[in-house]
Structure 1
Amino acid sequence: MAAIVYFRKISETEEGVEYEFGDDPGNFERRLTMDKASRTSTVQDALVDHTFLKASRKLHALHAERGLWPERGMSVS
């Protein structure tokens, strides 16, 4: 069974980056925040599940690869 998550940046400050994410790119239902200093992520609804972890890990990987927080993206496994 495939797992997919889409994400899109909605804001960025000196302290953090906020993304909306979910399994439907036309209807994001959740948000996560990446703390730039600690490189930790939190989810707005406090539900730490596979979808949140998948989005968070992909965002970290893209940032490490490119040196910038991506505007949008997806992860498929």
Structure 2
Amino acid sequence: MAAIVYFRKILETEELVEYEFGDDPDDFRRRMTMDKTSCTSTVQDAQIDYTFLKASRKLNALHTERGVWPERGMSVS
């Protein structure tokens, strides 16, 4: 069974980056905040599930690889 999560940046400040994410790129229903200093994430609905963890890990990997927080993306496994 494949799993997919899409994400899109909606806000970036000096301290944090906020993303919306979900399994439908046309209908994001959830949001997460990435702390730029610690690279930790917090999900706004407090549901720490596979979709949230998958998006968070992909965002951190892309940030590490590119040195910037991505505008949008996806993770498939």
**Equivalent residue runs for 1:16-35 within 5 Å:** 16-35=16-35
Gaps of 5+ in 2: none
TM normalised by structure 1 equals 0.99
Letter of the 2:40 counterpart:
T
Alignment pair present for 1:10 and 2:7: no
Q: How far apart in 2 are the matches of 1:73 and 1:21?
A: 10
Cα deviation, 1:45-74, whole Å, max 9, x if unaligned, reads 000000000000000000000000000000
Corresponding residue pairs, total: 77
Cα deviation, 1:4-36, whole Å, max 9, x if unaligned, reads 000000000000000000000000000000000
Per-residue deviation at 1:39? 1.0
Aligned residue for 2:37, secondary structure, equals: coil
Superposed CA RMSD: 0.3
